[in-house]
Copies of this chain bind each other. A is one copy, B any other.
Amino acid sequence: MTSKLRIVPLGGLGEIGKNMTVIEYEDEILVIDAGIMFPESDMLGIDIIIPDFTYLRDKTDKIRAILVTHGHEDHIGALPHFMAEVDAPIYATALTAGLIEVKLRQAGLLSDVDIHTFQAGETLELGCFTVEPFHVAHSIPDCVGFGITTPVGLIVHTGDYKFDHTPADGWPPDFAKLAEFSQRGVLALLADSTNADRPGWTPSEMVVARALDDVFRTAEGRIIIATFASLISRIQQVADLAEKYGRKLAITGRSMRENAKMARRLGYLEIPDHLLIDVDDAVKLPQHEVAIMATGSQGEPSAVMGRLARGRHRNLSILEGDTVVFSAYPIPGNEEVVFRTINQLFRRGANVLYERIAPVHVSGHASQEEMKLMINLVRPQFLIPIHGELRHLKQHAEMALHMDIPQENIAVIENGTPLELTESSLEILPRMPGGYVFVDGASVGEIGWPVVRDREALAQSGVVFAVLATSDAGKIVGQPEIISRGFVNPKESDELLKGAAEAILRAADVYSKMKRDKLNEAIEDALSRYLYAETGRRPLVHVVVK
């Protein structure tokens, strides 16, 4: 019997193979990425979600390396949690390593972790695996995919990519390497499916450069550009335009400032000192001499754009004649708050440009024609669509079918589903349950669905507590004290709360012979029914008999 190569994408529902992927052969394991997911709108109060490491917990000693594709949160954000449990080296390019170091330092873990930097094109020997990182273009510099030669064959993992021939950093993806892999023969391709429902070819970063050049050429007042804090290449584009059009550049928002500082230090961002000014100084310059880069492109209320939109920024406010550019897409689920922020900025007199009305942002992921090109460049025996929701993986598989990859050679799987590969076969094993872990404040994994469901009920109709006092003889004395939150306006609800107290006392009387816990339940039930009859709503109800 030959050994098999096992591939397991870890994480919850949502995007598959995005946050963490395990490559396992006998007693050696490579982990690709360790990122976070953002909670969906019904995961109330949850800060972030990390992959469930259960699968790896009893084999941490087998982990040879954590390979990181690039420095976005959904690929590195869970490292502080993961590295607290795992003693293995991290391998990343210099910029990605810089971003990881910032995270690990904040978590107090930096001194415990070995971080090795590599350059795309190098070869890493890691146990039974030979890893060849290759350069790809995406929306952050220094991104790689991995060619991994394993005992059963060559696996290619694209990471997040697009085929941009004219990227902002002038470094196109490594077609030659992909072609070389193809010549050697590729057993399996794990490929980004994010944009599998977008026809055509994702526009180049150069399109954005042109659109932003238009903005700089025509804007008469200040130019304020919001984007992702990690979008180093966009910062470079804006800095170049500021220089070209004689404006000073202020960068504001803590995370963007920190990233820019680190990227300048490492040489990924070239901004001459004379170009950069503080926001405090920017407000003193004539408006046509100012450009500002800011955080908050997702409408986050505490980031710069959110505060500007509500007039709550410490030293900056929107002026009539400002041109504001949202150089980012709303992440799915953020559309409403992003558009609300845009409306608020219009209300304050800004002219706001966003992707729907000018090409001031492009996706960092391949569209359909690029995905087809990837398949034809690599010519894998097996295709494993990753990085996308199930609907994207299905679309990706559909495309591959039309390119004559046989149905049985395409594995559309969900997180937690192990695949086993030999030199000539691919088998899908049963999915392991579970898969994600909620992080809420200081708690990691303690909050589960029951708590979140309670929060949902609280969010719907609030909560009503009633406290009853009993005499030593166990008889109820006095009036119940009723406290509500998120249910009614207490100032206008005297009548309702009086009725509620009566309903409670009536129930307490009728059911007075019951045992204490049954009595509580009966009273809660009566109170619930009364409140529903009066208001049409069902708050959480809790009665304490003291």
| Residue A473 CB within 8 A of the other chain | no
Q: Is the CB of B448 within 8 A of A489?
A: yes
| Cα A342 to Cα B395 with chains together (Å) | 12
Contact with B along A41-68 (1 / 0, CB 8 A): 1001100000000000000000000000
Chain B residues within an 8 Å CB radius of A44: 459-460, 486
| Residue A463 CB within 8 A of the other chain | yes
Q: Is the CB of B486 within 8 A of A465?
A: no
Q: Is the CB of B486 within 8 A of A454?
A: yes
Q: Is the CB of B462 within 8 A of A544?
A: no
| Cα A227 to Cα B492 with chains together (Å) | 41
- Least Cβ distance of A517 to chain B in Å? 13
Q: Is the CB of A540 within 8 A of B485?
A: yes
| Cα A343 to Cα B546 with chains together (Å) | 49
Q: Which of B347, B451, B535 contacts A487 (CB 8 A)?
A: B451
Q: Which of A459-517 contact B (CB under 8 A)?
A: 459-463, 465, 467, 469, 481, 483, 485-489, 492-493
Q: Is the CB of A486 within 8 A of B335?
A: no
| Residue A530 CB within 8 A of the other chain | no
A485 and B441 in contact, given A44-B459, A336-B41, A391-B346 (Cβ under 8 angstroms)? no
- Least Cβ distance of A27 to chain B in Å? 33
A446 and B45 in contact, given A347-B390, A465-B542, A467-B544 (Cβ under 8 angstroms)? no
| Cα A319 to Cα B456 with chains together (Å) | 32
Find the B residue at minimum CB distance from A335.
B332
Q: Is the CB of B546 within 8 A of A336?
A: no
Q: Is the CB of A488 within 8 A of B451?
A: yes
Q: Is the CB of A534 within 8 A of B442?
A: yes
Q: Is the CB of B197 within 8 A of A486?
A: no
| Residue A447 CB within 8 A of the other chain | yes
| Cα A463 to Cα B467 with chains together (Å) | 16
- Least Cβ distance of A347 to chain B in Å? 6
Integer count of this chain's copies in the complex: 2
Chain B residues within an 8 Å CB radius of A446: 488-489, 492-493
Q: Which of A347-394 contact B (CB under 8 A)?
A: 347, 351-352, 354, 356-357, 389-391, 394
Q: Is the CB of B45 within 8 A of A483?
A: no
| Residue A73 CB within 8 A of the other chain | no
| Residue picked from A40, A336, A463, most chain B C-beta under 10 Å | A463
Q: Is the CB of B339 within 8 A of A389?
A: yes
- Least Cβ distance of A142 to chain B in Å? 31
Q: Is the CB of A465 within 8 A of B483?
A: yes
Q: Is the CB of A485 within 8 A of B460?
A: no
- Chain A interface residue count, Cβ-Cβ cutoff 8 angstroms: 69
Find the B residue at minimum CB distance from A45.
B460
Chain B residues within an 8 Å CB radius of A534: 442
| Residue A272 CB within 8 A of the other chain | no
A458 and B463 in contact, given A197-B357, A441-B537 (Cβ under 8 angstroms)? yes
| Cα A507 to Cα B443 with chains together (Å) | 25
| Residue A536 CB within 8 A of the other chain | yes
Contact with B along A312-347 (1 / 0, CB 8 A): 000000000000000000001101110110110011
Chain B residues within an 8 Å CB radius of A13: 343
Q: Is the CB of B462 within 8 A of A486?
A: no
Chain B residues within an 8 Å CB radius of A354: 391
A544 and B463 in contact, given A336-B332, A441-B537 (Cβ under 8 angstroms)? no
| Residue picked from A346, A347, A459, most chain B C-beta under 10 Å | A459
- Least Cβ distance of A441 to chain B in Å? 3
Q: Which of B457, B458, B467, B535 contacts A441 (CB 8 A)?
A: B535
Q: Is the CB of A443 within 8 A of B488?
A: yes
Find the B residue at minimum CB distance from A448.
B489
Q: Which of A2-53 contact B (CB under 8 A)?
A: 13, 40-41, 44-45
Find the B residue at minimum CB distance from A352.
B391
- Least Cβ distance of A325 to chain B in Å? 13
| Residue A450 CB within 8 A of the other chain | yes
Find the B residue at minimum CB distance from A458.
B458
Chain B residues within an 8 Å CB radius of A389: 339, 343
A451 and B447 in contact, given A197-B357, A198-B356, A391-B343 (Cβ under 8 angstroms)? no
Q: Is the CB of B486 within 8 A of A45?
A: yes
| Residue A289 CB within 8 A of the other chain | no
Chain B residues within an 8 Å CB radius of A357: 197, 395
Find the B residue at minimum CB distance from A394.
B346
The 10 closest A-B pairs by CB, nearest first: A441-B536, A442-B536, A459-B459, A458-B458, A441-B537, A454-B486, A455-B486, A197-B356, A343-B390, A44-B459
- Given contact pairs A450-B489, A454-B485, A546-B546, a sample of 11 additional A-B residue pairs in the complex whose CB atoms are under 8 Å apart: A40-B336, A41-B336, A198-B356, A342-B391, A351-B394, A440-B461, A440-B537, A446-B492, A463-B463, A463-B485, A465-B465
